[in-house]
Amino acid sequence: MEAKVYSTDGKVSKKTVELNADVFDVQVSDGCIYYAVNNELANRRVGTACTKTRAEVSYSNTKPFKQKGTGNARRGDKKSPIFVGGGTIFGPKPRDYSFSMPKKMKRAAMKSLLSLACQENRMVVVEDFTIESGKTKDMASILKNFVEDASRTVLIMKDDDNMIRRASRNIPNLHVLAYDKLSAKELLYGKKVLMLESAAKNLNEFYCD
């Protein structure tokens, strides 16, 4: 399948790029997309919530009152969970929420997301460019030719271009990704997906079975 290539001023150029149908025109798998997004969100969770049990609380180890004769229940120390300043029963402890996902399923999810973007006309192939100055205003002037109302945008690059990343980091709702490090969440929720011409050629081979 062929796709038009746009120049940085938002106009259609005379060039076209061939997109591999096995990557950009496959049957969309909602299940794979769901698990891929869920996997990314789970792997980002820190899970550092922590409470102290009665064994960890720094408090007196002395017996608060004698064992018999007071009419009160028996108390061994003041770290009991029912006392103010005592330990916590069944409180949260640091844990790892991440989980692994089969490689084939992850590849299927990425191909489904790329195909979905093409089917919904959210994907635009742009000729290769860089921001020599590294200034935000230069990147913003290019984006305004493709995106309206500062909606959520994804830019897919061939390589990790530091100047493009530098020019993009102060633009809200713009997510810059390398072709081999795509994010399922960003591809799913991006209102517009801008893909550099060289990145499109690399994706043809990278996700091809």
Cα–Cα distance between 127 and 105 in angstroms, integer? Answer: 31
Is the predicted pLDDT of residue 209 greater than 70, yes or no?
A: no
The average confidence (pLDDT) of the chain is 90
| Highest mean pLDDT (candidates 61-65, 192-196, 205-209) | 192-196
Tokens of 167: 């020019």
Nearest one of 1, 23, 203 to 108, comparing CA atoms? 23
pLDDT (0 to 100) of residue 53: 93
Please check the confidence at residue 86 and state whether its pLDDT lies above 70: yes
For residue 31, pLDDT over 90 is answered with yes
Sequence letter at residue 91: G
Least-confidence region, from 122-131, 146-155, 177-186: 146-155
Mean pLDDT over 133-149 rounds to 88
**Using an 8 Å Cβ cutoff, are 24 and 1 in contact?**
yes
Q: For residue range 152-183, list pLDDT tens digits in order.
A: 999 999 887 788 999 999 898 899 999 889 99
Read off the pLDDT of each residue in 100-111 and give the average, rounded to a whole number. 93
Mean pLDDT for 52-69 is: 89
Q: Provide the pLDDT for residue 62.
A: 85
> Looking at residues 30-40, what average pLDDT do you find?
95
Give this prediction's pTM. 0.81
In the predicted model, is pLDDT for residue 129 greater than 70? Answer: yes
Domains of the chain in start order, with CATH, are 2-45+110-206 (3.40.1370.10), 48-96 (no CATH)
Q: What is the DSSP letter of 82?
A: T
Q: How confident is the model at residue 153, as a pLDDT?
A: 92
pLDDT at 10: 84
| pLDDT (average), residues 109-121 | 92
